[in-house]
Amino acid sequence: MIQLLKKLSFAIATICTVTTTSFANTLPQPTAKTVLWKISGNGLDKPSYLFGTFHMLCKDDLIISDKAKKAFAGTSQLVIETNIFDPAEIKLAQKEVMSDVPQSQRLSKEKYAFVDSVLRARIGVPLQRFDSLRLSALVGVLAQLGFTCPQPVSQEAALYQYAQQQQMKFATLETIKEQVDYMNKGFSDAYFFKFLQGIDSLKHVTTRMVNAYKTEDIDVIQQEMNDADMSYWLLTRRNANWAVKMPAMMQANSCFFAVGSGHLAGENGIIQLLKAKGYTVTPVLN
């Protein structure tokens, strides 16, 4: 169960792209191509940094740039979305992935058979094995199929390990229980079945998103995450919550905020929300 919750938490940055639709005809002003942003002004004694991650990556793709390492070294506290490294916190969130009614009782025979056939074909396991779980939890199970390697690794884990070595302070923007609750709302049954219908393209979409991340094109990443309900719960609502918490954190410590790259750009992205609060948020290009 702990591993399942970790997979569900790591999955956000990759599985939100399968139901991609066409972009709007008019796009906002392009954001600078970088996943690293400096936050200063508005009474801060020292700058903080906002770093966009890709929660899961194949080991060969897990490269943290020199500019990110330099910014990291100049801060005193690492802040990530949630504490995926605390077994006690994960245990508290376990019931959030459990379905009130077993899937064998809540799904129609046709839908149950469809999900069962996908699971058997893709991971060799029947739906009966996951009967007591929410469908949203299965998104996390299936998301790893998009990668070209058998065992993707966590970028946040690499940052956390470095922070521990440097004896940096550590904080989070939300609890795992809160994160899973947002995922349950964002990954509705309707979203789940769209996800399954597009699963044949998952590897292609994931590769495209990883390539966008490598070129630090956060606009592409944000625009891909355009399923309305999913985007509202997983991006808009959470970004607004985080933007309220970040000022006090930055006032107390120089922070290195590491969150999914999809949270950065856009009208409701963290960059714009911090600017609206009076901070100077500038791209770090090299």
Cross-strand partners of 73: none
Q: What is the pLDDT of residues 107-160, one digit of tens each?
A: 999 999 999 999 999 999 999 999 999 999 998 889 888 888 988 888 999 999
Q: What angle do CA 119, 109, 143 make, to 5 degrees?
A: 25
CA distance 24 to 9: 29
Q: Is 260 helix (H, G, I), strand (E, B) or coil?
A: strand
Q: What is the pLDDT of residue 29?
A: 54
- The pLDDT confidence band at residue 256, using thresholds 50, 70 and 90, is very high
| pLDDT on residue 27 | 41
53 forms bridges with which residues in the sheet?
Answer: 260
Give me the pLDDT at residue 89, please: 84
Work out the mean pLDDT of the chain and round it to a whole number.
87
The residue that leads in pLDDT, 2 or 251, is: 251
**Is residue 238 helix, strand or coil?**
helix
- Comparing CA positions, the residue from 83, 57, 60, 86 lying closest to residue 153 is 57
Query: What separation in angstroms does the CA of 152 have from each of 140, 168, 256?
Result: 13, 26, 23
Give the count of beta carbons closer than 10 Å to the beta carbon of residue 8.
29
Mean pLDDT within 75-97: 89
Q: How far apart are CA 281 and CA 33, in angstroms?
A: 14
Nearest to 147 by CA among 58, 212, 260, 213: 58
Strand residues in 77-139 grouped as ranges (E): 77-80
At residue 7, the pLDDT reads: 53
Structure confidence at residue 120 (pLDDT): 96
DSSP state of 162: H
**How confident is the model at residue 22, as a pLDDT?**
31
* Confidence (pTM): 0.89
